Amino acid sequence: MTIRVCLAGATGWAGAALAKGIAQADDLELVAGVSRQHAGRRLGEVLGIPNLNTLLSSSAEEALKTACDVFVEYTRPEVAKANVMAAIRQGAHVVIGTSGLTDQDLQELDGLAREHHVGVLAVGNFSFATVVLTKCAELAAKYLSQWEIVDYASASKPDAPSGTVRELAYKLAQVRRPEIPIPIDQTQGPKESRGATLHGMQVHSVRLPGYVISTEVIFCALDEKLSVRYDAGSGPEPYVAGALLAIRRVNSFVGLKRGLDSVMDW
Ligand SMILES: NC(=O)c1ccc[n+]([C@@H]2O[C@H](COP(=O)([O-])OP(=O)(O)OC[C@H]3O[C@@H](n4cnc5c(N)ncnc54)[C@H](OP(=O)(O)O)[C@@H]3O)[C@@H](O)[C@H]2O)c1
């Protein structure tokens, strides 16, 4: 059966690549899209894809008037939560690619999704390489008791830490919390220099030109170190296959799941 998809952010850097992926998939149909600048136009015309007649709307509420099975949120942190709530209330399953939602936001969305019997899959990073990074880091956290995370992204990224790192910290905290020999509030000097504490671990967000998304977890034990690191290239291709998988699997559960690994076969 064809899965009808509504894509908010269909003209964006990540959303446009996903739109092309959906257009090429036999089992998916892009029935609606959201873009304020191109509202009223056909997505195929905007992206240069022949025969893609998806109409673009100026808001998620408007786009959701077209019936869909899965709503994909790929816009901006400041509108993501409201868009997702609107989609859940329409009875759509939701895939969240947008970064910046807090644990509390996700908890609220979990409650709403359960009320409406739909699935919400929040994925900090759709690339399969970051799934592997997370799995390696989870394994390392079992045996190496101290670690900190460095979160690199471009100078123009508005949110920090990245969605990738929020999810990574959440997953590592399910394994255990790292030892921090000198408590952060006993730091001599500005406490901020020790980074932000997320799920009991220190996260250092670097925002400089030249980075896309890079994530490094530095693990330490007595007299040894292990670094697990991911570096994205400059294009959006790494995020397409994982997002397609998320769209295909999000109807398989009710409530919230976090991370692409939660719907992958292991
Ligand atoms: N999970 C992952 O693997 C992954 C991968 C890449 C990016 N991301 C995240 O995905 C989000 C989008 O990234 P991007 O680089 O594609 O951003 P982008 O290039 O700025 O694209 C944003 C898209 O959302 C639309 N948009 C922006 N503001 C909107 C609003 N207020 N209401 C409705 N639509 C709005 C834009 O169209 P208009 O301006 O025409 O409205 C555009 O289509 C970011 O949070 C980013 O961190 C996640």
- The per-residue pLDDT for 106 is 97
* Atom of ligand 1 at shortest range from CA of 12: 21
Cα of 123 from ligand 1 centre, angstroms: 14
- Any atom of ligand 1 within 6 Å of the Cβ of 14: yes
What residue ranges define each of the domains in the chain, with the CATH number in brackets?
3-126+236-263 (3.40.50.720), 128-231 (3.30.360.10)
- The per-residue pLDDT for 69 is 98
- The per-residue pLDDT for 233 is 95
- Any atom of ligand 1 within 6 Å of the Cβ of 215: no
Candidates 74, 76, 65, 82; CA nearest to 31 is: 65
What is the C-alpha radius of gyration for the chain, rounded to an integer number of angstroms? Answer: 19
Candidates 242, 218, 214; CA nearest to 228 is: 218
- The per-residue pLDDT for 32 is 98
The two structure tokens encoding residue 6: 């509504």
- The per-residue pLDDT for 151 is 98
Task: Name the 3-class secondary structure at 44.
Answer: helix
Residue 172: Cβ-neighbour burial (10 angstroms; 0-12, 13-18, 19+) = buried
Atom 21 in ligand 1: residue holding the nearest Cα: 12
Which residue ranges in the chain fall short of pLDDT 50? Answer: none
The shares of helix, strand and coil residues in the chain, as percent rounded to the nearest 5, are 40, 25, 35
- Any atom of ligand 1 within 6 Å of the Cβ of 230: no
- The per-residue pLDDT for 215 is 98
- Any atom of ligand 1 within 6 Å of the Cβ of 36: yes
